[in-house]
Structure 1
Amino acid sequence: MTLSANRDFLEFHDLPADAVLAILERAGELGEAWRERRMPQSLEGLRVALIVDDGGWRNTTALDLGIQAMGGICVHAPVSLGGREAIADLAGYLDNWFDMIVIRTPELASLQELAAHARAPVINARTRSNHPCETLGDLAYVRAKRGGIEGLKIVGVAPDANILRSWVEASISMPIEVVQVYPGDWHVSDPALLNPSFRLSTDMRELEDADVIFTDSWPSGVPEGDVAGYRISTEVLDRCRPDAIFIPCPPVARGQEVTADAMAHPACQSVSAKAFLLHAQNALMEWIVAKAEISASR
C-alpha cells in the first residue's frame, strides 16, 4: 500500500470540519465494533512507524493496539528528531519502509519539518505545543453522548499548554465555543490561535452553563495560592448543569487542579472519555487511508 496523498494531522484545524465530523461519527461506529469484537480490517497491509520520542503511554498504546486490531503492521521505531540525523534524512529513511508515521515528540516545529519532507502521512501523537488526538478522542466521546457537537460550550480550566491549545485549534474549524478560565498570566496569547470562537476569562462562573469542562495540570513552580481558586471540587461541579461532562486530563494531580472527591462526581467521565481515544485514532487512520486511495485512483 502506498499512501500517495499526504494527509497529515499535525494541528487539529489541519482537517476541514466535514472531515472531522465524519471521523467523529465513524469513531462511534468503531467503538461499537470494538465492543463486539468485530473490527474491520481497513488497515490491512498498512505499515506504520510508531515513534515515541518523549514518554507517555495512553494514545501510543491505543495506536499500536488499533493498528493491529484493524489489520495493519505497527513497528516501534527508536527515532529521535533531536538526534544526530537530519530530520530530512530521517523522513527519507522512514519513507523507504512505512506507509504512515505516527510520532510523539517534544517540538511541533520538528514534527512539521518531518511532515514537510516525508511522503507518508504524519500523525501528531503529542507535542509540548498541542495534542490533537486527545481532543479528537474527547470530542468523539462527547458526540456519542450528546448526538452531536454543534453549539457546545467547552470550558478549559487550564493554563496555556498543549491540552488547551488543541481545544483552541478545534475552535478554529469546528462549530464549538471554547473558553479558557484561568488567571491572566497563563492566558493564551498566540495570535495564530485567537479566533471568534475562543474567549478568555478569569470567572469560574463560566463553568455553570458549560457542556464540557476539562482541566490540565497546574503550571510548575507556581505558588498554590495563585491558582487554588481554579481547583475543581464537588462544590464547583454541583453548581454546573446536571448533564455537564467533566474530563480532567490525565495524569490527574488530586488535590491540585482537581480534588479527590471531584473524581467520583457523576459529571466526571474521564475513564469513559479516554476509551474513545482508541476509536477516534482508528477512525482518523482509516480516513487517511481512504482519502489516499481515492486520490491515487484519480
Structure 2
Amino acid sequence: MTTLKHYLQFTDLNADEYAYLFERAALIKKKFKAYDKHHPLVDRTLAMIFEKASTRTRVSFEAGMYQLGGSVVHLTTGDSQLGRAEPIEDSAKVISRMTDLVMIRTYEQAKIERFAANSRVPVINGLTNEYHPCQILADIFTFIEHRGPKDGTGNLTDCLKGKTVAWVGDGNNMANTWVQAASLLGFKVHVSTPRGYEIDEKLAAGAHGISADSYQFFSNPMEACRGADLVTTDVWTSMGYEAENEARKKAFADWCVDTEMMAAAQPDALFMHCLPAHRGEEVEADVIDGPQSVVWDEAENRMHVQKALMEYLLLGRVA
C-alpha cells in the first residue's frame, strides 16, 4: 500500500523522485514504441475532470491510462454536479470513493487543493492558472532525451545541472513551474516578459521557496536567450484571459521567438512550445517548424511521463 501522494505543483516531488520518473518514462516509452504491452494498472480507474477545454491533456491522459491497462471516466463541469454548485469537498469525497486516481484541469489552484484535501486517492494537476507541472515534466524529459546520456546510465536529471532555460513571453503558469523546476533540479531559468506581465515570484516559489541563483529576470528577451540551452514560450493569451487579447498582442509584440533569438542561444539550443501555437505571434514559423524545434516529441512525451506519474502515484516504485 503506497502513501497517498498528490501532484498539484512541481515541488510536490523531490529530485530523487524525478530521477526515478524520468527513468521509468524512458522504459515505458520504449515499450510503447515496441508494441510491448505494459498493464500495471489493470482494474484501476482514472477520473478526468475538465473545467478548461483540452486536446493534449485529454488525449495524453486518456490514451495513457488505457495503455496502462486501466479505464477512464471523463467529466466536465457542464455534465456533472460540479457545474451545479455542489461543494468541491462533496464531489471529492464521492468521486474518490469510486475511482483510483483523479486528474483535474481547472482555473484556480485553490479548487484543486480543496479537492485533494478531501480525496481518498491521488489527485493530479492537469493545469491551473497558477501551475502546469505535467507539461514541465514532459518538457524536461524531452530535453533529457535530446541532450542527456545516450547510454541511459546515471542520474538522468544530472544533464540539467548548470543548463539555462530561456522563457520568453507571459509570466504565466508555465513560467511559474519552470522557476520551481530550476530551483529543484539545479538549472537556471531566464525569464523575459513585458512590463506588467512578470511572474509573481511568491506564487512561483510556492511553499518551498526558490534559490536565488536559479532565476533571473530580463527586460530584453534577446538577452534572456543569450547562451541558453533551451528557448521556450507559450501563447500570449491563456484560457480565461481572452478579453485581454488585443492589449496583450500590443504588449507582447517584441516577445516573438524568432531566428535572431535562437541565434543568440547556444548553437545546439532546443526550442519548445506547449501548444497550441500561433505562428507569427509568440513564435515565428521558421522557429517552431525549424530544425531546433522538438515540439512534437514534447507533445507526445506528455503521455509517457504521465503514464510514469500515474503508475508511481498508485504503485510507488516498481522494481
Question: What is residue 43 of structure 2 aligned with on the other side?
Answer: 45
Displacement after TM superposition at 1:151 (Å): 2.2
Question: What is residue 70 of structure 2 aligned with on the other side?
Answer: 72
Q: Is the 8 A contact 1:4 1:292 kept in 2?
A: no
| Matched letter for residue 200 of structure 1 | F
Question: What is residue 153 of structure 1 aligned with on the other side?
Answer: 164
Residues 42, 183 of structure 1: alpha-carbon distance in 2 compared, 3 angstrom cutoff: same
Distance 2:22 2:173 in 1: 21
1:158-194: per-residue Cα shift (whole Å, max 9, x none)?
2111121221221232222112112232111332425
Question: What is residue 175 of structure 2 aligned with on the other side?
Answer: 164
Alignment map for 1:75-90 (pairs within 5 Å):
75-78=73-76, 79=80, 81=82, 83-90=84-91
Distance 2:67 2:247 in 1: 43
Which residue of 258, 278, 284 corresponds with 1:253?
A: 278
Question: What is residue 222 of structure 1 aligned with on the other side?
Answer: 247
Q: Is the aligned partner of 1:183 residue 2:194?
A: yes
Question: What is residue 217 of structure 2 aligned with on the other side?
Answer: 200
Residues 89, 232 of structure 1: alpha-carbon distance in 2 compared, 3 angstrom cutoff: same
Q: Is the 8 A contact 1:100 1:121 kept in 2?
A: yes
Q: Is the 8 A contact 2:6 2:116 kept in 1?
A: yes
Displacement after TM superposition at 1:80 (Å): 6.4
Q: Is the aligned partner of 1:113 residue 2:114?
A: yes
Q: Is the 8 A contact 1:115 1:121 kept in 2?
A: yes
Which residue of 15, 19, 22 corresponds with 1:21?
A: 19
1:11-45: per-residue Cα shift (whole Å, max 9, x none)?
01111111012111211121111111113211122
Q: Is the 8 A contact 1:81 1:110 kept in 2?
A: no
| Matched letter for residue 48 of structure 2 | L
Displacement after TM superposition at 1:208 (Å): 2.5
Displacement after TM superposition at 1:109 (Å): 0.3
Question: What is residue 265 of structure 2 aligned with on the other side?
Answer: 240
Q: Is the 8 A contact 2:25 2:305 kept in 1?
A: yes
Distance 2:95 2:281 in 1: 41
Residues 55, 77 of structure 1: alpha-carbon distance in 2 compared, 3 angstrom cutoff: same
| Matched letter for residue 161 of structure 1 | N
| Matched letter for residue 217 of structure 1 | V
Residues 73, 226 of structure 1: alpha-carbon distance in 2 compared, 3 angstrom cutoff: closer
Q: Is the 8 A contact 1:101 1:121 kept in 2?
A: yes
| Matched letter for residue 128 of structure 1 | N
TM-score, normalised by the number of residues in structure 1: 0.91
Q: Is the 8 A contact 1:5 1:292 kept in 2?
A: no
More off after superposition, 243-252 vs 109-118:
243-252
Q: Is the 8 A contact 1:53 1:80 kept in 2?
A: no
TM-score, normalised by the number of residues in structure 2: 0.86
Displacement after TM superposition at 1:81 (Å): 4.5
Q: Is the aligned partner of 1:285 residue 2:310?
A: yes
Displacement after TM superposition at 1:292 (Å): 8.8
Question: What is residue 128 of structure 1 aligned with on the other side?
Answer: 129
| Matched letter for residue 250 of structure 1 | L
Instruction: Give the 3-state SS of the residue equivalent to 1:281 in structure 2.
Output: helix
Q: Is the 8 A contact 1:30 1:39 kept in 2?
A: no
Instruction: Give the 3-state SS of the residue equivalent to 2:252 in structure 1.
Output: helix
Residues 21, 38 of structure 1: alpha-carbon distance in 2 compared, 3 angstrom cutoff: same
Percent identical residues: 28
1:182-231: per-residue Cα shift (whole Å, max 9, x none)?
22321113324252212111131221211111111224332645322221
More off after superposition, 260-269 vs 126-135:
260-269
Task: Kindly report the root-mean-square deviation, in angstroms, between the aligned alpha carbons of the 2 structures.
Answer: 2.0
